[in-house]
Amino acid sequence: MATYKWALNERGFEAVPFKEYTEEQKKKCDYVEMYLSPSVEHSRCGWHHVGYEIMENQYGREEYAVLYPDSENSNGRYMNVSGNSLGAIAEEVWKNVFR
């Protein structure tokens, strides 16, 4: 289920700096930025691009693929992809593109 950053912030989540990502998380981030984001952008589906963020609260960290409607990286739709493979991340993004 997708959510928005303001809702995550209300639950105490804050963005984790990229330098604190694990090697696996950096690979996922690269995959999203190099492959998924250009695909979404070129599909002209109404979303501008896709990002990858790690959010953290007092209970732990969660991984999100984020669909952005513009180049400002604001008002994105956050999809939890914690523990997902690259293929599962792609599937989750494309399921949410046309919602």
What are the structure tokens assigned to 6, written together?
């303001």
Q: What is the pLDDT of residue 69?
A: 93
| 2 vs 17, higher pLDDT | 17
pLDDT at 28 over 90: yes
What are the structure tokens assigned to 96, written together?
């949410």
What are the structure tokens assigned to 97, written together?
């593109």
The topology under which CATH files domain 2-97 is Double Stranded RNA Binding Domain (3.30.160)
Q: What is the pLDDT of residue 87?
A: 87
Query: Considering only CA atoms, which of 74, 56, 55, 52 is closest in space to residue 65?
Result: 52
For 24-78, give the secondary structure using H, E and C.
Answer: HHHHHHHHHHHHHHHHHHHHCCCCCEEEEEEEEECCEEEEEEEEECCCCCCCCEE
For residue range 7-23, list pLDDT tens digits in order.
999 999 999 999 999 99
Q: What is the pLDDT of residue 99?
A: 63
Q: What is the pLDDT of residue 86?
A: 87
Q: What is the pLDDT of residue 21?
A: 97
For residue range 36-83, list pLDDT tens digits in order.
999 999 888 889 999 999 999 999 999 999 999 999 888 899 999 988
Query: Considering only CA atoms, which of 97, 11, 1, 74 is closest in space to residue 53?
Result: 74
Rounded mean pLDDT, 2-10: 94
Q: What is the pLDDT of residue 27?
A: 95
